[in-house]
Structure 1
Amino acid sequence: MSRRDGAADEALVRRIYAEHGAALLAYACRLTGDRARGEEVVREVLLRARLHPEILGGLVRASLFATVREIAGGPATGSLQLLGAVETLPPEHREVLHVLYFQGRDVAEASASLGVPAGAVKERSYQALRRLREAVAG
């Protein structure tokens, strides 16, 4: 995966969230009966879309809702595996993922927040996501 692909994947996730985030969250909350758990489900859906954009296929909304159903109704094994993989990342990589994906900041905002150059934010994000992809696939 090239850096350009990483930027494209990040743009895809931001577009998905902008277009479908509210509906996904409402659906996830309804399925789980809990807003906090619904938010976790949506984060997992977005992370899966980021790591494996091919799962979206041609019917993006249908694929997203199917993934919400799978995560909300299935065992948390995949999430636990992913959380375990996140814990193995170096602290600076975890921080970048937290700022970018959980706080929803862009690269410039993350750079300012973390006090590192934007290039370092991009590199750490790329390396962290590459390692997570390997951990989930392996």
Structure 2
Amino acid sequence: MTVVVNECAATRGASPAAIRMAALHAHHAPSLYRFLLRLTLGEPYLAEDLLQETMLRAWRNIEDVPHGYEPERRWLFTAARRIAIDAARARQARPTETGATDLVRLPEADDAIERLVIIHTMREALPKVSDAHRQVLIEMYYFGRSSAEAAQRLGIPEGTVRSRAHYALRALRAALGLDG
């Protein structure tokens, strides 16, 4: 199928790559969107993001996109599928996002009972984490020091402090029984 793009205000004076990209989008975007919508289990915003990423990849590699309707289509669908797989893997690697905190359920700032429960719970859980993790937790969350300040006080690199803080919080959650 030969692509003929009418000269209009959008393509007048545009580069051949821009004209080709406009034609690729016009011919393939609707079917790519439907394909990505199925891959994202009906999430329209995610499918739109993946379509945009696919078109961006095509724009960046316009010289690699073969000419002709079917070869273009195969290249774009392969790129879209790979981008969708990469996005799904990235979502699995990131922690789950949480919604806004319900301020109605938060304890009052001077709630003595809540403070007592927290102190008791932490006294029970802190001995269950390693010494290295406990030191980082105490420096950062009890004394309120930054990771750089905690690193200086503990005599370890700042990256190690951040890593230990991450794993210490995970271990603390496990010790409190909040993992499941």
Q: Give the TM-score, by structure 1 length.
A: 0.48
Higher radius of gyration, 1 or 2: 2
Higher relative contact order (Cα pairs below 8 Å, separated by 6+ residues): 1
Q: Give the TM-score, by structure 2 length.
A: 0.38
- Name the one with the larger helix percent: 1
